Amino acid sequence: MTAETVEHAGVLEIVAGDRPIREVNQEIRAAVAAGRDVVVERPMSRHNLAVALSGAGSVTFRGSVGYYCGGLSNGGRIVVEGNSGWGTGEGLADGHITVHGNAGMSLGAAMRGGTIHVKGNAGPRCGVAQKAGNIVVEGNVGYSTGFMGHGGRVICLGDAIGSVGDSLWEGSVWVAGEIRTLGVDAKVITPSAEEVAEVESLLSGLGVDAAGCDWKQVVSGQKLWYFEARDAKKWLMI
Amino acid sequence: MADDLSVRNGQQAAEELIAFGDGADAARPAGITSSYAEGRSSRWQREVIADIHAKAQLGRYQLRGFSTFQRNLPTFDDLVFQPATMTRLPLEGYREQCDTTTVLGDGLGKAEKPITLDIPIYIAAMSFGALSATAKAALGRGARKAGTMTCTGEGGMLEEEREENRTLVYQLTPARYMVDLEHVRRADAIELVVGQGAKPGTGGLLLGMKVSERVARMRSLPQGVDQRSTCRHPDFLGADDMAIKIEELREATDYRVPIFVKMGATRPYYDTAVAAKTGVDVIVLDGMEGGTGASPELLLDHTGVPTLAAIPAARRALDDTGMSGKVKLVAAGGIRSGADVAKALALGADCVMIGTAALMALGCNSPRYIEDYRKLGTEPGACHHCHTGLCPVGVATQDPVLSERVDVEAASERIYRFLTALTMEATLLAKACGKSSVHNLEPEDLRALTLEASAFTGIPLIGADKPFSW
């Protein structure tokens, strides 16, 4: 334990500041793996904080974080009290990330499980190449949200800016607000009552009131699934 | 009148003398035919016409596997070694040692476990999906026997290949199939793929016939779709972002394994200079001769830089940025023999990868199951139908019956022997040049046979003893 790290009422307090990121992460990782709760002061928008967490503990950042916060984790609970940068929760296999502010580009890129919950807005390419898991954004999402998603859900309670659900495989983008433009080979369907119940239950578990939302579910038109001449015009748009 | 007639008769007689008459073509020396009689044009060749007919039917570009068919590419054959004579001493070919140990990831001191290979050659990234599970297992086992490694390719980490390989490079391609903490931590090196030589600037391609249940599950895809992967990574764009991504990967692997970046050769000098500043341990540069399981045909033939030209440019970039020795350079693309290996090392590569040649050692294009080649409209020695998934020898297929045609043990033995033969060839040349390590091969050991090769490699033109320059 370094001078910057103290224990207070059972919670480990770490000061990130300008310390080597490897050292800060080692302390976070060890504590979360041991099921403990950690608070990180002065995260200073540093990149790669809380990468590769496992275990049942939690870490709270008292401020904003940079790129890839929580990236490649397969456990733990992360709370960012400020904003988060690009690729938050990228490659997440399991675990839970909450961002109180806004999240940058490529939120939850290629994630394979777990939940990411952003209370503000998310940038472009939210849920890009997502394989599984849930991304919940209470505000708006940027262009190309869900781009080439394989599975899982992006759930947006605000508006989706443009090119929504571009080139999806089997993932889906749920939008309660306005869909400005759809991406290539994306279509809007009305979700089944069962699926709506599932999403509402997920949201209520996160303390998000989604009662009365007019859900639009964006899914793949499946025209890009095969190389065929009749879809040549679609292909030319990619 | 009489004069007129005699003139005409004279003309007729001359025509008869000049003309060869019927069967003239048959009377030509063997192998020489009249392009006029055959309707052959130097511009509208048969394959050009067939290509137009195919595209007129398909309404899209043609796809195929294998590698470039581009004519007149410069090759390693444009260079020759100049063994030791009066000014240098050779080593005994059969008695004296030539070290082939190759270390990757030791230069920056960032990775705690650099990779040590017994030979300067490893097996290039070819995915499970592009290749059968039996082929992947055989490559892994053969590489292990030869003291070297393989790379997963795009389709995730196959259980069989992890078990067979002692050392395994795990690829993070833009599609990020199966990339999570568990798999990243089972890798001995992580490779960020920015591009590949066969089709730089584009993502992976795997046609539906090869997207089997298992392939689909590993890639999180619907079974049977024509998979096209993205060309850009989902969570970084330029080199500055990539540097942060590399730090993330070091964090995720606890600074244990080396990080590689793989690029197709397009602007090898500038791309290498930029890549070397991102904090990677190893740069893998893939020339345009690099193979692929499936690609738009025009990318294979009309994009990229040949390996021969790419290596000296990349080495120059590392020298100019002070990164030679710190960042290692792996070269790939069209390496066929130990002579190619030795020439690549002499030009500046620290290590080489073989892909297509390794598949041939497995059995690709071998003269067996002739009927199955014919069904594809091809024959052994000319097959390039990897994209169809109907590989007659079971290498580039997901068909369970065809896959069984790769006898893993026998095929792995051939891989081992081929790698041994390549290494022996490379050391034979190195020892003749007086080198006690293959890594001591240098540009001075080479001369260029052509002006072009001399101009873009900086190797002296044969006989002139100085590089051709303009």
Domains of chain A: 5-236 (2.160.20.60)
**Could you read off the pLDDT of B105-119 as tens digits, one per residue?**
999 999 999 999 999
Quote the mean pLDDT of chain B: 93
Alpha-carbon gap, residue B329 to B348, rounded angstroms? 8
Predicted pLDDT at B28 = 55
Mean pLDDT check: name the lowest of A215-229, B202-216, B450-464: A215-229
- Find out whether B327 and B282 touch, Cβ atoms under 8 Å: yes
**Residue A11, pLDDT above cutoff 70:** yes
Helical residues (DSSP H) of B61-145, grouped into ranges: 133-145
| Closest among B470, B349, B382, B431 to B104, alpha carbons compared | B349
Alpha-carbon gap, residue A201 to B34, rounded angstroms? 79
**Residue B175, pLDDT above cutoff 50:** yes
User: Across the interface, do B221 and A110 touch by the CB < 8 Å criterion?
Assistant: no
Cα–Cα–Cα angle for A56, A60, A62, rounded to 5 degrees: 175
Residue A201, classified by CB atoms within 10 Å of its CB into exposed (0-12), middle (13-18) or buried (19+), is: exposed
Q: How far is CA B402 from CA B175, B206, B361, B390, B409, in A?
A: 28, 18, 17, 8, 16
Q: How many CB pairs under 8 A join A and B?
A: 117
Give the nearest chain B residue to A105 (CA atoms): B235
Q: Which amino acid is at A221?
A: G
Partner B contacted by A21 (CB < 8 A): yes
Mean pLDDT (whole number) for A122-135? 98
**Residue A4, pLDDT above cutoff 90:** no
Residues pairing with B296 in the sheet = B63
Q: Which amino acid is at B83?
A: P
Predicted pLDDT at A232 = 55
The share of chain B scoring above pLDDT 70, in percent, equals 91
Mean pLDDT (whole number) for A196-201? 96
Sequence-separated (6 or more) residues with CB below 8 Å from residue A43: A16, A49, A61, A62, A63, A64, A65, A80, A82
Which phi and psi (to 5°) does residue A28 adopt?
A: -65, -50
Query: Testing the interface with B: which of A23, A45, A46, A48 to mutate, by most B Cβ within 10 A?
Result: A48
Residues in chain A with CB shorter than 8 Å from the CB of B182 are 74, 93
Predicted pLDDT at B466 = 79
**Could you read off the pLDDT of B77-95 as tens digits, one per residue?**
999 999 999 999 999 988 8
**Could you read off the pLDDT of B198-223 as tens digits, one per residue?**
999 999 999 999 999 999 999 999 99
Confidence band, pLDDT 50/70/90 cuts, at residue A237 = very low
Predicted pLDDT at A9 = 77
Mean pLDDT (whole number) for B162-177? 97
Q: How far is CA A66 from CA A45, A48, A73, in A?
A: 4, 7, 16
Predicted pLDDT at B43 = 87
Sequence-separated (6 or more) residues with CB below 8 Å from residue A136: A115, A116, A117, A118, A155, A157, A202, A203, A206, A208
Mean pLDDT (whole number) for B315-337? 98
Predicted pLDDT at B1 = 45
Number of H helices, E strands in chain A: 3, 12
Could you count the other beta carbons within 10 Å of the beta carbon of residue A41?
15
The share of chain B scoring above pLDDT 90, in percent, equals 84
- Using CB atoms, which residue from B234, B248, B251 is nearest to A129? B234
User: Across the interface, do B234 and A128 touch by the CB < 8 Å criterion?
Assistant: yes
Strand A94-99 relative to strand A112-118, pairing: parallel
Alpha-carbon gap, residue B28 to A134, rounded angstroms? 75
| Closest among A164, A185, A163 to A176, alpha carbons compared | A164
**Could you read off the pLDDT of B365-380 as tens digits, one per residue?**
999 999 999 999 999 9
Sequence-separated (6 or more) residues with CB below 8 Å from residue A96: A76, A77, A78, A114, A115, A116, A117
What kind and span of H or E run contains A77?
strand A74-80
ipTM metric: 0.95
Predicted pLDDT at B2 = 46
Cα–Cα–Cα angle for B325, B327, B330, rounded to 5 degrees: 100
- Using CB atoms, which residue from A47, A132, A225 is nearest to B247? A47
Residue A125, classified by CB atoms within 10 Å of its CB into exposed (0-12), middle (13-18) or buried (19+), is: buried
Query: Testing the interface with B: which of A168, A227, A236, A238 to mutate, by most B Cβ within 10 A?
Result: A227
**Could you read off the pLDDT of A17-74 as tens digits, one per residue?**
999 999 999 999 999 999 999 999 999 999 999 999 999 999 999 999 999 999 999 9
Q: Which amino acid is at B279?
A: G
Residue B31, classified by CB atoms within 10 Å of its CB into exposed (0-12), middle (13-18) or buried (19+), is: exposed
Domains of chain B: 76-441 (3.20.20.70)
Query: Testing the interface with A: which of B61, B180, B182, B257 to mutate, by most A Cβ within 10 A?
Result: B180
**Residue B36, pLDDT above cutoff 70:** no
| Closest among B307, B299, B301 to B354, alpha carbons compared | B307
Partner B contacted by A100 (CB < 8 A): no
Partner B contacted by A23 (CB < 8 A): no
- Find out whether B345 and B76 touch, Cβ atoms under 8 Å: no
CA of B297 vs chain A CAs: smallest distance (Å): 14
Alpha-carbon gap, residue B190 to B446, rounded angstroms? 34
Sequence-separated (6 or more) residues with CB below 8 Å from residue A166: A144, A146, A147, A148, A183, A184, A185, A186
Sequence-separated (6 or more) residues with CB below 8 Å from residue B16: none
Predicted pLDDT at A238 = 40
Mean pLDDT (whole number) for B432-455? 96
Mean pLDDT check: name the lowest of A2-6, A141-145, B55-59, B130-134: A2-6
Cα within 13 Å of Cα(A101), Cβ side? 17
Alpha-carbon gap, residue B193 to B177, rounded angstroms? 12
Confidence band, pLDDT 50/70/90 cuts, at residue B152 = very high
Confidence band, pLDDT 50/70/90 cuts, at residue B32 = low
CB proximity under 8 Å: A 173-212 to B: none
Alpha-carbon gap, residue B256 to B115, rounded angstroms? 11
The SS3 of residue B290 is: coil
Q: How far is CA A196 from CA A190, A199, A203, A210, in A?
A: 9, 5, 10, 10
